[in-house]
């Protein structure tokens, strides 16, 4: 790990658990070369990815157990992509609506739109963002938007009540630093260390404790929106890129871990995905009399993906297929459906 990455990760979260988990992630070899004290956008993107991956493992015991096995075997996770959910709705408090809350972060970091995927069965639109400097080596983001206008008036009213209290964690100072990063493609280390913890905070729940009645209203029509009500913009899942997803699934099933029953295969046949079922978490709700209630709900989860190669039409060379598939995504999203 180069010294810039080490210092960035130390300020992102100095806990010993995070320090342990970031050692589980493969770091691209080209990042060994760096300019000490001057952080490139790709280094900052890698640091953010590693911090978010570590944060997910703290919330997902099943994924944590798998990752410990990988580390014990002397290997590292190839972090393929992280996924998060947003809501395209005019009533989101001071937080920008839908994916714009994150594209304002992704674009200065060097990410570009890599694909759009209509998820019609769950009334969402998914978009993937790949890093322009190293698309196959820096983890992508799969960013989805839910469309409340496709649901009932009662559902829409509940969305407004839940999300209307949202605050924007991206401070004015952080927005200035992102503008500098966009223009210069780098930041002095001190400024990058100032920016990174704020970016990490953006991947969380920005609204207040939801009412249980609203949660139940949302859950009746959309498991995805119910999940957003409790988890917000936290990583929905993180994904390990593995050579043989079928073999991994069989091995995890033999260990008794809650792996999906089937592997999702894209229409092209080149992208294959499966996942653990979401680990349950305890979340607070407000009851009818204003009292605080605790309920078990689905949290985040851990995914696996195998990507085959395709021929680049420009170079004629075999390259990794970095695309996604709407059918795959819809199937994977079921991992957070509440019982």
| Cβ-proximal residues to 148 (8 Å cutoff; 6+ apart), any chain | 87, 88, 89, 155, 156, 159, 225
Q: Which tokens hold the place of 307? A: 């990507």
DSSP codes, 318-337: EEE-----HHHHHHHHGGG-
39 is written with which tokens? 């952080």
Distance CA 276, CA 258 (A): 5
The pLDDT of residue 337: 85
Query: Residue 324 maps to which CATH number?
Result: 3.10.180.50
List of residues 6+ apart from 9 with CB closer than 8 A: 1, 18, 19, 22, 47, 50, 51
Phi, psi of 68 (to 5 degrees): -60, -35
Residue with tokens 């899942």: 237
**End-to-end Cα separation, the chain, in angstroms:** 42
pLDDT digits (tens, 9 = 90+) for 105-153: 999 999 999 999 999 999 999 999 999 999 999 999 999 999 999 999 9
If you search the block for the tokens 């195998």, which residue do you land on?
306
Which pLDDT tens digit goes with each residue over 147-161?
Answer: 999 999 999 999 999
> In 222-338, where does DSSP find H-type helix?
223-231, 245-254, 326-333
Number of structural domains (the chain) is 1
**What is the Cα–Cα distance from 128 to 141, expressed in whole angstroms?**
6
Q: Which parts of the chain register pLDDT below 50?
A: none
Rounded to whole angstroms, the Cα distance separating 18 from 53 reads: 9
pTM listed for this prediction: 0.95
Tell me the torsion sign for CA atoms 224, 225, 229, 234.
positive
Residue 255's domain comprises 3-336
Which spans in 13-118 are helix H? 16-22, 41-59, 61-72, 100-109
Residue 207: its pLDDT value, please? 98
Take residue 287 and report the two structure tokens written for it: 């009851």
The token pair that represents 121 in the structure block = 């069965």
Please say whether the beta carbons of 249 and 223 come within 8 A: no
Angle between helices 41-59 and 3-12 (to 10 degrees): 40
């Amino acid at each position: 790990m180069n010294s810039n990455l080490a210092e960035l990760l130390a300020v992102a979260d100095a806990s010993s658990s995070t320090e342990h988990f970031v050692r589980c992630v493969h770091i691209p070899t080209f990042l060994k070369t760096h300019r000490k004290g001057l952080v490139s956008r790709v280094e900052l993107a890698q640091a953010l990815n590693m911090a978010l991956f570590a944060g997910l493992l703290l919330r997902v015991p099943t994924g944590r157990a798998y990752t410990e096995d990988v580390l014990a075997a002397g290997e590292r996770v190839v972090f393929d992509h992280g996924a998060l959910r947003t809501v395209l709705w005019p009533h989101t408090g001071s937080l920008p609506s839908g994916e714009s809350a994150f594209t304002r972060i992704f674009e200065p970091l060097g990410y570009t739109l890599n694909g759009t995927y209509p998820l019609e069965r769950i009334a969402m639109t998914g978009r993937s963002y790949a890093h322009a400097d190293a698309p196959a080596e820096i983890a992508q983001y799969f960013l989805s938007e839910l469309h409340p206008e496709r649901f009932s008036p009662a559902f829409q009213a509940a969305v407004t009540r839940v999300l209307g209290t949202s605050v924007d964690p991206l401070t004015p100072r952080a927005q200035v630093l992102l503008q500098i990063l966009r223009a210069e493609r780098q930041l002095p280390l001190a400024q990058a260390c100032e920016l990174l913890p704020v970016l990490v905070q953006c991947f969380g729940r920005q609204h207040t404790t939801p009412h249980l009645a609203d949660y139940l209203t949302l859950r009746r029509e959309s498991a995805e929106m119910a999940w957003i009500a409790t988890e917000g913009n936290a990583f929905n899942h993180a994904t390990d890129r593995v050579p043989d997803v079928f073999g991994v699934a069989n091995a995890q099933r033999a260990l008794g871990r809650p792996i999906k029953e089937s592997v999702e295969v894209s229409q092209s046949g080149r992208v294959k995905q499966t996942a653990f079922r979401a680990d349950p978490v305890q979340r607070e709700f407000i009851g009818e009399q204003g009292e605080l209630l605790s309920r078990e709900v689905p949290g985040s989860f851990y995914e696996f993906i195998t990507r085959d190669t395709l021929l680049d039409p420009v170079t004629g060379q075999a390259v990794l297929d970095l695309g996604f598939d709407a059918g795959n995504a819809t199937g994977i999203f079921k991992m957070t459906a509440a019982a």
